[in-house]
Amino acid sequence: MRQIFLDTETTGLRVEDGNRLLEVAAVEMIDRKLSKPERHFHRFVNPERDSEEGALNVHGLTTEFLADKPKFAAIVDEFLDFVKGSELIIHNAPFDVGYLNMELGRLGRGKIEDYVDSITDTLKMAKDLWPGKRNSLDALCDRYEVDRSGRTLHGALIDCELLAEVYMAMTRGQDSLLIDFAPTAEENASNLERRSSGKPLIVTQASPEELALHQKYLDALDKTVKGACVWRELEPLATNEANPQ
């Protein structure tokens, strides 16, 4: 499953006031594993206008800095190729989607919904999980203990990376325990051959470091479910099976 975490920065809050997009970033995740940084998409855009004072204080991208950057028309094909067919994951999606659709509409390129499979709004997810609480990206980073110490001004790329960590914490469920440990086709074939030949299966014991990481993961699950996760109940059974009397 290919998911794209997307964020934009703009010259102002209201697209209806003629504000424009000036930065777009997209971070790729495949099967709940983030791709290497070289697979990310990040472009600054010349918005052809000044930023409103409030927006400038947030992102710090001056008109002078953006003057020699490409216009959106110059990056649109590369951008659409990158996000095509993915699930877009955006915090406060209506805001970013509104700006993307405005820019695409100016070029006669339709809407972003025409190019992606779906759009997920993590702000809506957070409000469902934490009704009545603050659910900004900063608040969610604090709630899920995601380190944001390197973030001074808002930037599209760093916000995407933070959102990816927050999303992983928000969607961490019992089924995700097996995601990173699914055997490959070659491993399955090898195990089947050993079963049919009567050879013992190869068992690799977890290292102390791996066990410590496992406990850290379970602690995070406990916090997410506000109690003890199901795996805690299964641990004694797994231990007894591994060490029969």
- For the annotated catalytic residues, the residue numbers are 154
For the beta carbon of residue 39, count every other beta carbon within 10 angstroms: 13
Place of tokens 């920065």: 9
Beta strands in the chain (DSSP E): 2-10, 21-30, 33-34, 41-44, 87-90, 118-121
Closest CA to 61 of 100, 26, 22: 22
Instruction: Concatenate the DSSP letters of all residues of 90-149 into one string.
Output: ETTHHHHHHHHHHHHHHTT---GGGTSSEEEEHHHHHHHHSTTS--SHHHHHHHTT---T
- 10-16 contact pairs (CB < 8 A, 24+): 10/47, 10/55, 10/99, 11/47, 11/49, 11/50, 11/51, 11/52, 11/55, 12/51, 12/52, 12/54, 12/55, 13/52, 13/54, 13/55, 15/98, 15/99, 15/102
Cα separation, 90 vs 31, whole angstroms: 18
Closest CA to 87 of 146, 41, 128, 27: 27
Cα separation, 102 vs 110, whole angstroms: 9
